[in-house]
Amino acid sequence: MVAVFVLVAGVVLIMVFGGIIFALMGMMQVLASLVPFAPMLVAIGSFLLICAEMLLFLGNKDDRKVAKRDLGFMLPTLVVSLGLWWLAQYFLW
């Protein structure tokens, strides 16, 4: 759960600072192409975290319990971010 929060918060912060930098540089037309990258980065990061959590299923009973709980947070995050990415691609590009 903490890893997903750090992933989402990091992507949001990077996108906000990137948008500010592009706005200060006078590149406002680039902002529309920057928006679809945020959910895509969250989806890629969630997928990689899910792959890492799968390794916990090779551990003991407590590791498998933690993996099931963490996957309960990561799978919906992956599905929602892929949906948002698809919508951003469809409407902005």
- As for how many domains the chain has, the answer is 1
Given this model, what pLDDT does residue 65 score? 93
Q: Please name which of 93, 88, 92, 91 lies closest in space to residue 39, comparing C-alpha atoms.
A: 88
pLDDT digits (tens, 9 = 90+) for 23-74: 888 888 887 777 888 888 889 989 999 999 999 999 899 999 999 998 998 9
Structure tokens at 36: 């679809």
Tell me: pLDDT of 82 over 90. yes
Given this model, what pLDDT does residue 92 score? 75
Given this model, what pLDDT does residue 1 score? 65
Tell me: pLDDT of 88 over 90. no
- Contact between residue 73 and residue 4 where contact means Cβ atoms under 8 Å apart: yes
Q: In Å, what is the CA distance from 60 to each residue of 1, 20, 39, 73?
A: 20, 47, 34, 21
Please compute the mean of the pLDDT values over residues 69-93 and round it to a whole number.
89
Q: Please name which of 81, 58, 64 lies closest in space to residue 7, comparing C-alpha atoms.
A: 81
The residue ranking higher by pLDDT, 16 or 31, is: 16
* Segments forming the whole domain that contains residue 22: 2-92
- Please report the beta strands in the chain, taking only residues with DSSP state E, as ranges in sequence order: none
